Structure 1
Amino acid sequence: MNQKESNLPMIGGIIAALGAGVCCVGPLLLLLLGVSGSWIGNLTAFEPYRPLFIAFVVLLFGYSGWKIYRPVEECEPGTACAIPKKQQQRKVIFWLSAIVATILVTSNYWILLFA
């Protein structure tokens, strides 16, 4: 598996997390930028799909974690997972993107503290 294919689950997880958080983070970001109006309340169109986005986030990050934390013996020689330095970089990127995804997915619970 090449480098681009191995990053797809993490990239997909971030995109799904953005979809899950767009209903709450979007209006807050617009308000912080000074954009206001009654139409901002209509940005909750994705709310019914939120559970699907969250399930997608969990599945993709679970798959990514499994790929990143699998034993080195299962890696083909010369691939990114067989090189310790690359494996460490991928773990750091995985956890940073997992934190961002968690913030976006849970945004509708903590966003009320800033409203």
Structure 2
Amino acid sequence: MKTQENSLKSSGAPTEKIWLGTSLVAALGASLCCITPLVALVAGTTSSLAVSFSWLEPLRPYLIGLTTLVLAFAWYQKLMPSKQVDCDCKTNLKSNFMQSKTFLFLVSLFAAAMLAFPSYAQIFYPQLQGQQTTADKSNVQIVEIKIKGMTCAGCEGHVNSEVNKLAGILKVETSYADGNTLVKFDKTKTDVKQIEKAVSATGYKVTQVNLK
């Protein structure tokens, strides 16, 4: 009878692990296109790593929905009344942490943090300021660079941090929604080619350059 009880208690474990694993993979996939630029910046890498998962962006709503449904189902299973075994055996089995509500709560918290990552990703990027704050008005220029491949606010931070490393940068405003960056700079300290090169170093594709 004890063996039967053990079997009943553990029979749902593999299925539960599969569901939780699915939710974590979906949550990570939903924000992977915003996580990889940060990884690229921290690792000091360039190009493909920053944009290699941008193709996941159109799938983000579906991955969010899948994560939500899987976790909701997991919580339903965890909170629903468990079936009682009709026997006289004692239940002194220690609860498995990975099958506990605490573990499910931690998984849910991590998944929520991953799903919301695009909204706060920019805080992880260095808040660099241009190395120059003023310049002679006759030397000030503004360039708009159209960029393909940005998918979230984290991408904006990635571009801003690279451009701000150049000398002569006065202001940088990047928008993933508009697919561009506006750079105000001192033309005696840097030029459009250097700025374009800095943007390209992030891995995003420069599609157009317009001097204002």
| TM-score bin, normalised by smaller chain | 0.7 to 0.9
Is it true that 1:68 corresponds to 2:54 in the alignment? no
Residue 2 of structure 1: how far off its partner (Å): 3.2
Per-residue CA shift, 1:8-45, capped at 9, x if unaligned?
21111001101101111122122212212376245311
RMSD after superposition: 2.4
Counterpart in 2 of 1:17? 27
Is it true that 1:102 corresponds to 2:112 in the alignment? yes
Counterpart in 1 of 2:102? 92
Residues 1:4 and 1:62: Cα distance change in structure 2 (over 3 Å):
same
**Contact 1:23/1:47, CA 8 A, preserved across alignment:** yes
C-alpha distance in 2, partners of 1:38/1:19?
17
Is it true that 1:44 corresponds to 2:58 in the alignment? no
What is the TM-score normalised by the length of structure 1?
0.79
Residues 1:6 and 1:31: Cα distance change in structure 2 (over 3 Å):
same
Amino acid at match of 1:114: F
**Contact 1:27/1:43, CA 8 A, preserved across alignment:** no
Counterpart in 1 of 2:67? 57
User: Counterpart of 2:46 in 1: which secondary structure?
Assistant: coil
Higher helix share: 1
Amino acid at match of 2:20: M
- Structure 1, unmatched stretches of 5+, are 78-82
User: Counterpart of 2:45 in 1: which secondary structure?
Assistant: coil
Is it true that 1:35 corresponds to 2:45 in the alignment? yes
C-alpha distance in 2, partners of 1:87/1:75?
21
**Contact 1:17/1:105, CA 8 A, preserved across alignment:** yes
**Contact 1:24/1:108, CA 8 A, preserved across alignment:** yes
C-alpha distance in 1, partners of 2:16/2:49?
40
C-alpha distance in 2, partners of 1:88/1:75?
21
Name the larger-Rg structure: 2
Following TM superposition, the consecutive aligned residue runs of length 4 or more in structure 1 with deviations greater than 6 angstroms are none
C-alpha distance in 1, partners of 2:30/2:102?
23
Percent identical among aligned pairs is 22
Per-residue CA shift, 1:43-93, capped at 9, x if unaligned?
311101000000000000000001111123x3657xxxxx67347852111
